[in-house]
Amino acid sequence: MTIDEIEKIRKMPFVFTLGLGRSGTTLLQSVFDAHPNIVAPPESKFIILLYPKFYHIKKWTEEKIHEFVDALYIDPLFSMVWNPDRARLLNDLLSAKDNADYSLLCKIVCYHMRGDKENIMLMAFKTPIYTLFVRKLEALFPEAKFIHLVRDPRDNLLSQIKSFHVGDPLYSSQMWLGYNSILEKRKQYSPAKYYTMYYEKMVGNLESSMKGLCDFLKIPYHVSMLQPKPSKFKDEELFKEAHKSLLSPINTSNIGGWESDLSSYDKSVVALISGKFASEKYGYDFKMDIDSTVPQFKLSKSKIKYKLWQNFTLFRYKNLSLNILYSKIKRRIKGDKLAIWNYF
């Protein structure tokens, strides 16, 4: 990799797709991937995962580059889903070591996933948990822009139940409220960096949505975005189980399913926890009778549970060794393959 190529990558902007999982983040990533001038690899947590160990390095040596590449494979999403050419990636990173910093190396890793694309204009990155670290991402990549994907919290809950067999609607609703609240607060500080998209509008009129998004990103719209294909996964069965809806053409069949498929109790839970926020911020209609069987102590308990999880997550991401230990424990508890989406 030449010095000119390295400097081009350094200046190349990131666009991060954020929001709670099951809000269309993977769909949008596949749409980005269909654009001939955008690099859009699958999900990975490596940018934030490796931050505490490598961000403060001022002088990158060959030994440190090797150590960085080894660490990338700690994240099973990187090793099992990205499946990069390790030798070529290592060579690309080594060629940049004399003028490297952590931000540049992260960009080179993503740029490596461009395949046969040329004239790359930006790199799109999708990892829902990055929502918790959006301030850090703003600092790491000052030129970055952020897409906030929003979905009706009732359909979001239904999608989580169907795809991941979620059994706690109270906790899931608190996560919806927590994630969207974080992004709304950040928009107040850096409004020009953020673009809000609605799942319902995206699947309802993909062309119009993508033209508006491309205008925001200052890149040309390309008709190929209307025919996205799922990214190639090393483990096809894993992909089909987690994101099987992407194997079908984009349609509106997943909008409003909550009306018939969610129980009265679950509808009431969502309305009590996130209804006001969803109505006032995003215009979702929550005019309905609330089921009085939802106990107040359960609502309070779910809020505490979510806050504890959020604070613990922010804490453990400050130490790579702690995160590795956490991942090992989680692997022992969760034996299913889908658990890799939640490691770290």
Q: Taking the CB of residue 265, how many other CB atoms lie within 10 A of it?
A: 11
- CB contact at 8 A, 230 and 243: yes
Taking phi first (over 0 means left), then psi (-120 to 50 degrees means alpha), and beta for anything else, what does residue 315 get?
alpha
The torsion angles phi and psi of 178, rounded to 5 degrees, stand at -65, -50
pLDDT of residue 266: 92
The torsion angles phi and psi of 15, rounded to 5 degrees, stand at -125, 125
Tokens of 227: 């025919």
The residue type of 331 is R
Instruction: Show me where the domains of the chain are located.
Output: 3-341
The span from the CA of 287 to the CA of 279, in Å, is 9
- pLDDT values of the chain reduced to their tens digit, one per residue, 344 residues: 899 999 999 999 999 999 999 999 999 999 999 999 999 999 999 999 999 999 999 999 999 999 999 999 998 889 888 989 999 999 999 999 999 999 999 999 999 999 999 999 999 999 999 999 999 999 999 999 999 999 999 999 999 988 877 778 999 999 999 999 999 999 999 999 999 999 999 999 999 999 999 999 999 999 999 999 765 544 445 544 554 555 456 778 889 999 999 998 999 999 999 999 999 999 999 876 666 678 899 999 999 999 999 999 999 999 999 998 988 887 777 665 545 656 67
- Which CATH superfamily groups domain 3-341? P-loop containing nucleotide triphosphate hydrolases (3.40.50.300)
